[in-house]
Amino acid sequence: MLTCQELTELVTEYAEGRMGPWRRIEFWMHLGMCKHCRAYVSQLRATVRAVGALPPEPVPPEVKDELLERLRHMRPAR
Partner 1 sequence: MSDPPPSAAGPDGSEAELLRRLRARDEAAFAQVIDRHHGSLLRFALGFVRSRAVAEEVVQETWLAVLDGLGSFEGRSSFKTWLFRILANRAKTRGAREQRSVPFSAFADPAEPDAPAVDPSRFRPDGGWAAPPERWDADTPERRLQTREALRCLEEALESLAPAQRTVLTLRDIEGLDSAEVCNILEITETNQRVLLHRARSRLRAALEAHLAAGGSPC
> Which stretches of the chain bind partner 1, using CB under 8 A?
3-6, 8-9, 11-13, 16, 18, 35-40, 42-44, 46-59, 63-64, 66-68, 70-72, 74-78
Measured between alpha carbons, how far is 18 from 10 in angstroms, rounded to an integer? 10
**Beta carbon of residue 51, minimum distance to partner 1 (angstroms, whole number):** 5
**Beta carbon of residue 18, minimum distance to partner 1 (angstroms, whole number):** 7
Helix (H, G, I), strand (E, B) or coil at 57: coil
Residue closer to partner 1 by CB (options 29, 43) is 43
CB 39 within 8 A of CB 6: no
**Beta carbon of residue 37, minimum distance to partner 1 (angstroms, whole number):** 8
Residue closer to partner 1 by CB (options 20, 57) is 57
Beta-carbon contacts of 70 under 8 Å, excluding residues fewer than 6 positions away, are none
Measured between alpha carbons, how far is 43 from 64 in angstroms, rounded to an integer? 37
